[in-house]
Amino acid sequence: MNTQLFPTPVYIPHHITRLAPEEQLQRTEAFFTLMQARRSVRDFSPEPVPFPVIEYALRTAGTAPSGANMQPWRFIVVQDPEVKRRIRAAAEAEERESYEHRMPAAWLRRLAALGTGWHKPFLEDAPYLIAVFRVDWEVDETGEREPTYYAAESVGIAVGLLLAALHTAGLATLTHTPSPMRFLSEILNRPKNEKPFVLIPVGYPAEDVRVPDIRRRALDDFMQVV
């Protein structure tokens, strides 16, 4: 066996604080209460957000587990107004085509209940857009192209951690996925091995923000114990 291609793993100690059951429950209840208030927001204040907050939220996203530890994510933080304007124009072009020609009636019916449409002013109003890209392949130590493993699952977990970190900081977010999103690769000049995954506006909610009156499923609807 080639030891350069298959190196012997190196292990280091791992320390985690073991909590009393009462504190475990208290912490999980508190985190649930915090996250229960998280909502997708489409009306943002232009008020600036301290950039170190964004950096630490992204550091948190980078702690996500990933297939073979390849960490197949890239986060592009957009704050330039002109770049945001171009992203909005391209996204609205795709969204208008989708709403008027691509989406089936059942999908449009679901979206109508949320009050959404092809107009996306939040792409310019929010102080930051975080464009998340999935890395589909890398070049390995031998110079050969190697696919990343479980890339979609890994990036999805990282995005979940990012949303939680931003919400913990008192910031509003939206997971925006215009389809197709090739325009993001072009506008942000991303390499061919990266594919757009999701676009996340981030900022403070507008003062008069309102969100759809939706209900989340009860635990018994999505958990089963066997």
**Helix, coil or strand: residue 206:** coil
pTM of the model: 0.95
**Helix, coil or strand: residue 89:** helix
DSSP 114: T
Could you read off the pLDDT tens digit of each residue along the chain, which spans 226 residues?
A: 455 667 899 999 999 999 999 999 999 999 999 999 999 999 999 999 999 999 999 999 999 999 999 999 999 999 999 999 999 999 999 999 999 999 999 999 999 999 999 999 999 999 999 999 999 999 887 888 999 999 999 999 999 999 999 999 999 999 999 999 999 999 999 999 999 999 999 999 999 999 999 999 999 999 999 9
For the chain, domain boundaries: 49-205
Domain 49-205 falls in which CATH fold?
A: NADH Oxidase (3.40.109)
Residue 162 near residue 131, CB atoms below 8 Å:
no
What is the Cα–Cα distance from 26 to 10, expressed in whole angstroms? 36
